[in-house]
Amino acid sequence: MRGGPSGGARRRAGLSMAAERKTKLSKNLLRMKFMQRGLDSETKKQLEEEEKKIISEEHWYLDLPELKEKESFIIEEQSFLLCEDLLYGRMSFRGFNPEVEKLMLQMNAKNKEEVVEDETVELDVSDEEMARRYETLVGTIGKKFAKKRDRANYEEDENGDIKPVKAKKMFLKPQD
């Protein structure tokens, strides 16, 4: 149940004409912060609504139809290179210009051998081997970045590997 409006109307009806004239304050005054406390819920709501109306009216928007470019499945390309698999434009025959001849082989082979090349590419160092190698480095590099005081904690074990000593200083709670 909303008692506000009906209650307010009853109250207003009971008031004398003079009193009504007295309470009629300007909107701008009513909107001020210190006036908010005394306002009843009805006028508050009215003010808020008016304010909202002003704000929405002042909002800018572009009066344009929505521009929606459909995703096209046709792609434009003005180059013949893509269409016809043309060769490289510099050529030399029978050793006239060895430099160009070398270049020719390299550039023209590119299109054909790309597929083959992918298969032949192999890792020189396997991931596992790499990880194993770096394992031993952890201590050495760690020592480099350790402070002088902590450096004593790094000790060489029987393999010659440097490892941090595990003993850590920590707070010991006294027993009482």
Partner 1 sequence: MAEAAGVAAEFFASNRARAARAVLDQVVLPGEELLLPEQEDGEGPGGAGERPLRLNAGARSRVRVVCGPGLRRCGDRLLVTKCGRLRHKEPGGGGGGVYWVDSQQKRYVPVKGDHVIGIVTAKSGDIFKVDVGGSEPASLSYLAFEGATKRNRPNVQVGDLIYGQFVVANKDMEPEMVCIDSCGRANGMGVIGQDGLLFKVTLGLIRKLLAPDCEILQEVGKLYPLEIVFGMNGRIWVKAKTIQQTLILANILEACEHMTADQRKQIFSRLAES
Our finding on whether 77 is near partner 1 (CB under 8 A) is yes
Q: Which of 35, 47, 107, 146 binds partner 1 (CB under 8 A)?
A: 107
Is the CB of 73 or the CB of 171 nearer to partner 1? 73
Is the CB of 114 or the CB of 124 nearer to partner 1? 114
User: Could you tell me the sign of the dihedral formed by the alpha carbons of 71, 72, 77, 83, in that order?
Assistant: positive
- Show the tokens assigned to 1: 């149940």
Our finding on whether 68 is near partner 1 (CB under 8 A) is no
Stretch in the footprint of partner 1 (CB under 8 A) among 51-59, 88-96, 135-143, 159-167: 88-96
Nearest to 45 by CA among 63, 25, 30, 56: 30
- Show the tokens assigned to 105: 């082989």
Q: Which of 13, 54, 67, 74 binds partner 1 (CB under 8 A)?
A: 74
Is the CB of 57 or the CB of 66 nearer to partner 1? 66
- Show the tokens assigned to 144: 């480099």
Measured from the CB of residue 163, what is the shortest distance to partner 1 in angstroms?
A: 44
Distance CA 15, CA 23 (A): 10
Our finding on whether 72 is near partner 1 (CB under 8 A) is yes
Distance CA 45, CA 4 (A): 11
Distance CA 122, CA 126 (A): 9
Interface residues with partner 1 (CB under 8 A) are 70, 72-97, 100, 103, 107
